[in-house]
Amino acid sequence: MTQRIPPMPKDQWTEEARDVFAFWGEPNAREEGSKTSILPVMGNHPGLGMAYNHWGKQLLMANTLSTRQLELLILRVAWRVQSAYEWHHHVGYALNCGITLEEISAIKSHPDGHEWAESDVVVLDTVDALIDHHGVDDALWARIEQQLEIRQRMDLVMSIGHYVMTSWALSAFGVPVEPWADAIGFDLMTASGKVPGRTLKPGEGEGWAEGRD
């Protein structure tokens, strides 16, 4: 796909755009730009870019869902809406929090093919309900209440919406997986034929930026 909204040209970088690039603490991003594909695009609209960064950081780093539940949620969204970008990045994050490749593969075939704990099932089912029906019926909500406290219920629904929105934006803008990355396909093999490995989230430990391949 042609990239419909390209990275902001360097000769147009403003201090506000540099703030967008440097938000996640990526080394030298303020001076050299972000190595990610998404932040140089968001620099075209710094006000939106910073709002998006703050909202995304809240949901990625301060979510009351467990890391496991959040990564299952994001991968199910990525599969349902066919977001190659989100799939590529979150396979590595999921592996890093202990989700196995077998479980990641089973996310695609849900509700068949795997015996999930109910705490996992309600997350996956809520993704499907919101994508398919744009809401949650009383029976599913009762199951959610049994598994999650109030803040977690709120984060569950808002996180699904955020990652659907992000996936839509990436697709509509034509934002590719980073050209230097060994992209992880939906078949759970990298473009070079390797088995994916774990990666760190932005800001999650020293050297996270160097390991984003």
Q: Let me know whether 75 and 19 are in one domain.
A: no
Q: Let me know whether 104 and 54 are in one domain.
A: no
**Does any domain span residue 1?**
no
Q: Tell me the sheet residues that pair with 184.
A: 190
pTM value is 0.94
With a pLDDT cut of 90, the percent of the chain lying above it is 92
**Does any domain span residue 185?**
no
Show the tokens assigned to 185. Answer: 């396909």
With 90 as the cut, is the pLDDT of residue 200 above it?
Answer: no
Q: Locate tokens 């970008």: which residue?
A: 85
Tell me if 193 sits within 8 A of 201, measured CB to CB: no
Whole-number pLDDT of residue 18: 98
Q: Let me know whether 166 and 92 are in one domain.
A: yes
Whole-number pLDDT of residue 211: 52
Q: Let me know whether 51 and 93 are in one domain.
A: no
Tell me if 43 sits within 8 A of 49, measured CB to CB: yes
Q: Let me know whether 149 and 121 are in one domain.
A: yes
**Does any domain span residue 212?**
no
Q: Which range of residues forms the domain containing residue 50?
A: 10-60
Show the tokens assigned to 161. Answer: 């919406």
With 60 as the cut, is the pLDDT of residue 75 above it?
Answer: yes
**Does any domain span residue 70?**
yes
**Does any domain span residue 22?**
yes
Q: Let me know whether 41 and 136 are in one domain.
A: no
Q: Is residue 37 helix, strand or coil?
A: coil
Q: Residue 89 is part of a domain; what is its CATH number?
A: 1.20.1290.10
Instruction: Work out the number of other CB atoms within 10 angstroms of the CB of residue 108.
Output: 17
Q: Is residue 51 helix, strand or coil?
A: helix
Tell me if 79 sits within 8 A of 87, measured CB to CB: yes
With 60 as the cut, is the pLDDT of residue 213 above it?
Answer: no
**Does any domain span residue 194?**
no
Q: Let me know whether 116 and 103 are in one domain.
A: yes
**Does any domain span residue 189?**
no
Q: Which of 59, 42, 36 is nearest to 8 (CA)?
A: 42
**Does any domain span residue 51?**
yes
Last residue of a domain, one of 18, 38, 60: 60
What's the mean pLDDT in 49-64? 96
